[in-house]
């Protein structure tokens, strides 16, 4: 096991595959992080951009006005968050598929590359 | 048995690294990606579709091949790093060492880089044949492993150093360039650190890099910042050049994470320094993934003080706006509030009739948002430290560097940037010299900036001279130019001076052999670089009666060593005997002191302290520190550096005893004299011990007085030459001056006055009245009354 090709092959099917698995995991958690999924869920019903009004004490109309504004902002917040969560879900699904495909393709990759190369050359023959 | 290590290639990838480097592979990989894309574009044309597809497959597969090789490389690199092994060492020694290890290591990527940075690559290359022969002669592989002890964690520099045992030629080269083990090791770890940093930066997919990005929608839970951004800006979390601030960043992070009073007062040397620090902090926060960390998800908002004061109209408006901005920031919910330039904040507020400190304090009472205030040292000592309520709220973080190590680290972080800007290369030794010089030749404050300035300026100079490599000589000559302090290689003239310092001093000072030898020795020690760097160049206490040459020696010293034009800094210490003595020297209530000002103006030369014994006890204590550490802090807290000065204190203490000992061996009785001075409470023993030398000046004997007179008359005749008058120095004249111009108590001091009163006066009269014309030759004879008469010849 002294040639570089041999070492590479050993790496490709052992540590390399492990690295790829870790990489897939990292990417998936990155998608969750990037779309702030946890924060979105935790603050799901919070008013949009913390815009809220408290009515003046004792004044019915003012209190009502404050309630309406805050509720409106909550609804807007919920809608935007749902949209975002859907986008995040789609991104997550896509990433999962890519991760799965790469985990399947990885073991075949060395041979695949050689075949593709040969196929490319055959186009000129 | 041969040292196993050299056979054991850690992994073939490091061999690949030395033959086909990562940087080259990266470029090639990129090229194939571009070719693949071009082929894809070409495939749009139906006529070329077949060929294009073929090219896509060929280029694409080659690109894929390189990608796999790189994945392999990164993985191995990571493993080596995790195991705390040295990638530089491993990649330098792997492969066939058919011409010996030194040859192999020197030609490797890291090895040649290291030799190049140390400025010895050409010497090694030209002597390579000799080195290879010597190593072959050592021949026997077992001898080699005896000499070279190496493991995977060995630093490449240390490896190089131990290789010098194998080849005397290689050893000679290292010695010729004064390359030490420490330098080799430090340079190697610096280069390796740079390499690791570069590789880490490339790995965009690493957890560290991915999670640095600002997450989308992370602010949605927080308020809007539009109003806030009118008065300042959010600090981007780019992480640059803040490596040497890790200690300070840790401290600030701790302070800001406290549940109560999360307020940090950052005392900085300069604005750029503190800004780098805050950027570093922003970087650190963005890397915090621990959801429970107090600063997780926070952003630093920096209030632009000067901009704020441009906007506000009056005091009331300022108060309202400032508290409004603070309130707004708190409402947003994820803000760390920073106020830059707090000095300006206080001053501008004051000009609007508002107490800025009180305003901030009153806002803090109702807020719990983390806050950073950036202030300079001067302001801190002047105002903030005394403000009890403010200092109760804040925890102080000092950013000044005191040690050379972290300064060097800081310089190393910035070298590549400066090199890129000026297209020059710094030798590693240069960086050390810059760190050392910044510390030694400039005031204690703003060390980082001083060092960075030096780095940039020397790069400018070298570029202007069309040079490519910055050497230590470049740095030293720049410093000499900037400060007037002789640094660098001792030139012929100076060498001559240093070696003959005793005889040069004797030309101006009569007698006093002990004094002159001690001074000369101390100066030679200092200039040869073996003197202590954290003390003044030399410090002496001259003890002896009046008029025996104490001041004259000091003057002669200043003339010879620092040049005749260099004025001495002179203090009559009898003026500082009162209770206010210390305050007048170091300043009080924001006014800087006389000593502080004088040294800042001229921090290089001789400081003469006349009648030192008369200064107050506090002043003596001040000098206790100065003699020990080479600096003191003035009333505003700023460092005053005396490390480039020779300090001479003179005193008449013990002179009665010295006079009574005339003709005896004074040096033998030196301990008695010193004990007497101590027992009389004139100087404390610890003060006397701090001086490099306590030097006794003997009373002058008749012969010496005669020589003094000759010297003085010689000086006078020089002055008269300008007027075209020649004075004849006769024995009679010398005898007259000796008998009338000296006494036991005042030594030779009355001579000056006598010469002025009698000789100069008479010649002046003659010149004015026209009795003496230019070209005249005069002599002096004693008349019957015993007085001197002038006679024209």
What's the confidence (pLDDT) of residue A93? 97
Residue among B62, B68, B223 whose CB faces A50 most closely: B223
Whether the pLDDT of residue A79 is over 80: the answer is yes
Does the pLDDT of residue B492 top 50, yes or no? yes
pLDDT digits 0-9 by tens, B744-758: 667 777 787 888 888
Is A121's Cβ below 8 Å from some Cβ in B?
Answer: yes
Q: In this predicted model, which residue has the larger pLDDT, B239 or A118?
A: A118
Q: Among B154-163, B433-442, B582-591, B660-669, which stretch is predicted with the lowest mean pLDDT?
A: B660-669
> First CA to last CA across chain B, in angstroms?
97
ipTM value for the complex: 0.86
Torsion over CA: B739, B744, B749, B753 (sign): negative
Q: How confident is the model at residue B241 (pLDDT cuts 50, 70, 90)?
A: low
DSSP code of residue B425: E
Nearest to A109 among B57, B68, B291 (CB): B68
pTM above 0.90, yes or no: no
Tell me the pLDDT of chain B averaged across its residues. 83
SS (H, E, C) B731-742: HHHHHHHHHHHC
Neighbour-count burial for B472-491, b at 16+ CB within 10 Å, e otherwise = bebbbbbbeeebbbbbeebe
Asked if B468 and B426 touch (Cβ cutoff 8 Å), the reply is no
pLDDT reported for residue B4: 47
Identify the DSSP state of B760. Answer: I
Candidates A113, A114, A124, partner chain B, best to mutate (most B CBs within 10 A): A113
B337: CB partners within 8 A, 6+ apart: B301, B303, B326, B329, B369, B370, B371, B372
Identify which has the larger pLDDT, B545 or B30. Answer: B30
DSSP string over B62-112: HHHHHHHHHHHHHHHHHHHHHTT--HHHHHHH-S--TT-HHHHHHHSHHHH
The partner residue sitting opposite A124, judged by closest CB among B51, B61, B79, is: B51
Strand partners, B778: B727, B792
Q: Could you give the count of Cα atoms lying within 13 Å of A86 in the half-sphere of its Cβ?
A: 6
Could you tell me which residues are beta bridge partners of residue B608? B570, B648
| CA–CA–CA angle B670, B674, B677 (5° rounding) | 145
Q: Provide the token pair at B577.
A: 């005997």
Model pLDDT for residues B31-84, shown as the tens digit of each residue:
999 999 999 999 998 888 888 999 999 999 999 999 999 998 898 888 888 888
Contact list, B215 vs chain A (CB under 8 Å): 33-36
The sign one gets for the Cα dihedral B350, B356, B357, B362 is positive
Q: How many angstroms separate the CA atoms of B279 and B646, rounded?
A: 42
- Provide the β-strand partners of residue B373: B265, B339
The reported pLDDT for the residue numbered B81 is: 87
- What value does the mean pLDDT take over residues B333-358? 88
Q: How confident is the model at residue B711 (pLDDT cuts 50, 70, 90)?
A: confident
Are A34 and B61 an interchain contact pair (Cβ–Cβ within 8 Å)? no
Distance CA B434, CA B436 (A): 5
Q: Which of B7, B11, B12, B76 is the mutation pick for testing A, counting most A CBs within 10 A?
A: B12
- Joined together, the tokens standing for residue B359 give 């305003």
pLDDT reported for residue B191? 92
B510 or A109, greater pLDDT: A109
B706 near B754, Cβ under 8 Å? Answer: no
**Strand B591-592, strand B587-588: pairing:** antiparallel
Are B215 and A33 within 8 A, CB to CB?
yes
Positive or negative, the CA dihedral A112, A118, A120, A123 is: negative
pLDDT of residue A23: 93
With CB atoms and an 8 Å threshold, state whether B61 touches A120: yes
Q: Is the pLDDT of residue B87 over 90?
A: no
For B308: left if phi > 0, alpha if psi spans -120 to 50, otherwise beta; the answer is alpha
The pLDDT tens digits for B196-232 are 888 988 888 888 788 877 777 777 767 777 778 888 8
Using pLDDT thresholds of 50, 70 and 90, give the confidence band for residue B727: confident
Q: Counting Cβ atoms within 10 Å, is residue B566 exposed (0-12), middle (13-18) or buried (19+)?
A: middle
- Residue range A16-42: mean pLDDT, rounded: 90
- Chain A positions in Cβ-Cβ contact with residue B62 (cut-off 8 Å): 117
Return the exposure string of B84-115: e unless at least 16 CB atoms fall within 10 Å of the residue's CB, then b.
ebbbbbbbbbbbeeebbbbbbbbbbbbbbbbb
Q: Which of B58, B215, B222 sits opposite A121 (nearest CB)?
A: B58
Enclosing H/E stretch for B337: strand B335-339
Confidence grade of residue B671 (pLDDT, cut at 50, 70, 90)? confident
What percent of chain B has a predicted confidence (pLDDT) above 70? 89
């Amino acid at each position: 096991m002294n040639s570089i090709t041999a070492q590479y092959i050993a790496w490709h099917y052992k540590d390399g595959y492990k690295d790829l698995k870790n990489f897939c995991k990292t990417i998936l958690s990155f998608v969750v992080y990037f779309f702030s999924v946890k924060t979105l869920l935790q603050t799901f019903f919070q008013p949009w951009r913390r815009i809220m009004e408290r009515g003046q004490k004792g004044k019915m109309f003012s209190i009502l006005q404050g309630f309406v504004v805050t509720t409106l902002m909550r609804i807007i917040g919920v809608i935007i968050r749902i949209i975002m969560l859907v986008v995040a879900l789609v991104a997550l699904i896509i990433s999962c598929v890519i991760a799965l495909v790469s985990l399947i393709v990885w073991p075949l990759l060395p041979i695949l590359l050689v075949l593709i190369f040969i196929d490319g050359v055959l186009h000129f023959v | 048995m041969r040292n196993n290590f050299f056979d054991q290639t850690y992994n073939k990838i490091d061999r690949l690294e030395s033959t086909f480097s990562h940087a080259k592979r990266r470029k090639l990989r990129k090229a194939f990606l571009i070719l693949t894309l071009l082929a894809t574009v070409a495939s749009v044309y139906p006529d070329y579709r077949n060929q294009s597809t073929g090219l896509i497959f060929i280029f694409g597969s080659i690109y894929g091949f390189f990608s796999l090789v790189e994945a392999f490389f990164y993985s191995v690199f990571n493993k080596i790093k995790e195991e705390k092994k040295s990638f530089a060492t491993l990649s330098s020694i792997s492969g066939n060492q058919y011409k010996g290890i030194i040859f192999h290591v020197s030609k490797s990527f890291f090895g040649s880089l290291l030799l190049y940075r140390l400025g010895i690559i050409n010497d090694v290359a030209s002597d390579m044949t000799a080195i290879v022969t010597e190593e072959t002669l050592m021949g026997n592989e077992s001898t080699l492993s005896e000499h070279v002890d190496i493991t995977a964690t060995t630093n490449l520099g240390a490896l190089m150093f131990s290789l010098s045992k194998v080849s005397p030629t290689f050893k000679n080269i290292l010695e010729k360039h004064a390359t030490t083990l420490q330098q080799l090791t430090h340079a190697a770890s610096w280069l390796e650190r740079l390499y690791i940093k570069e590789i880490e930066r490339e790995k965009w997919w690493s957890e560290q890099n991915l999670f640095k990005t600002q997450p989308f929608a992370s602010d949605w839970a927080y308020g809007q910042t539009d109003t806030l951004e009118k008065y300042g800006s959010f600090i981007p979390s780019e992480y640059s050049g803040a490596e040497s601030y890790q200690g300070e960043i840790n401290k600030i992070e701790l302070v800001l994470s406290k549940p109560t009073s999360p307020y940090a007062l950052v005392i900085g040397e300069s604005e750029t320094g503190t800004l780098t620090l805050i950027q570093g902090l922003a970087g650190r926060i963005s890397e915090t993934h621990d959801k429970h960390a107090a600063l997780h998800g926070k952003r630093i908002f920096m209030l632009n003080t000067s901009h704020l004061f441009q906007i506000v109209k009056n005091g009331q408006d300022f108060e309202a706006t400032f508290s409004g901005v603070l309130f707004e920031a708190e409402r947003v919910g994820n803000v760390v509030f920073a106020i830059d330039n707090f000095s300006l904040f206080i001053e501008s507020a004051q000009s609007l009739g508002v107490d800025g400190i009180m305003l901030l304090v009153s806002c803090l009472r109702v807020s719990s948002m983390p806050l950073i205030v950036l202030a300079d040292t001067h302001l801190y000592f002047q105002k903030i430290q005394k403000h009890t309520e403010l200092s109760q709220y804040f925890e102080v973080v000092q950013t000044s560097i005191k040690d050379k190590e972290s300064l060097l680290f800081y310089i190393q972080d910035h070298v590549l940037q400066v090199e890129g800007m000026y297209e020059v290369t710094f030798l590693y030794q240069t960086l050390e010299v810059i760190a050392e010089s910044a510390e030694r030749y400039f005031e204690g404050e703003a060390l980082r900036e001083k060092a960075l300035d030096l780095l940039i300026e020397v790069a400018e100079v070298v570029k202007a001279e069309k040079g490519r490599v910055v050497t230590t000589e470049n740095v030293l000559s720049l410093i000499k130019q900037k400060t007037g302090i002789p640094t660098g290689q001792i030139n012929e003239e100076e060498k001559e001076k240093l070696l003959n310092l005793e005889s040069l001093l004797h030309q101006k000072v009569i007698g006093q052999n002990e004094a002159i030898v001690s001074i000369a020795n101390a100066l030679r020690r200092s200039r040869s670089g073996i003197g202590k760097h954290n003390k003044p160049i030399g410090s002496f206490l001259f003890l002896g009666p009046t008029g025996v040459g104490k001041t004259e020696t000091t003057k002669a010293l200043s003339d010879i060593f620092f040049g005749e034009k260099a004025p001495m800094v002179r203090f009559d210490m009898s003026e500082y005997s009162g209770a206010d003595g210390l305050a007048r020297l170091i300043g009080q209530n924001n006014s800087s002191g006389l000593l502080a000002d004088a040294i800042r103006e001229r921090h290089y030369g001789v400081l003469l302290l006349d009648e030192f014994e008369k200064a107050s006890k506090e002043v003596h204590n001040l000098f206790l520190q100065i003699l020990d550490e080479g600096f003191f802090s003035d009333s505003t807290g700023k460092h005053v550096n005396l490390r480039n000065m020779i300090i001479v204190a003179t005193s008449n203490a013990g002179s009665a005893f010295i006079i009574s000992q005339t003709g005896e061996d004074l040096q033998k009785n030196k301990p008695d004299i010193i004990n007497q001075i101590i027992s009389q409470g004139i100087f404390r023993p610890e003060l006397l011990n701090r001086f490099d030398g306590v030097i006794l000046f003997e009373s002058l004997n008749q012969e010496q007085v005669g020589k003094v007179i000759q010297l003085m008359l010689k000086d006078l005749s020089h002055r008269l030459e300008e007027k075209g008058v020649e004075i004849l120095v006769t024995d009679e004249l010398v005898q007259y001056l000796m008998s009338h111009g000296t006494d036991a108590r005042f030594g030779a001091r009355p001579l000056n006055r006598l010469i002025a009163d009698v000789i100069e006066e008479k010649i002046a009269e003659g010149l004015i009245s026209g009795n003496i014309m230019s070209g005249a030759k005069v002599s002096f004879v004693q008349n019957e009354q015993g007085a001197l008469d002038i006679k024209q010849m």
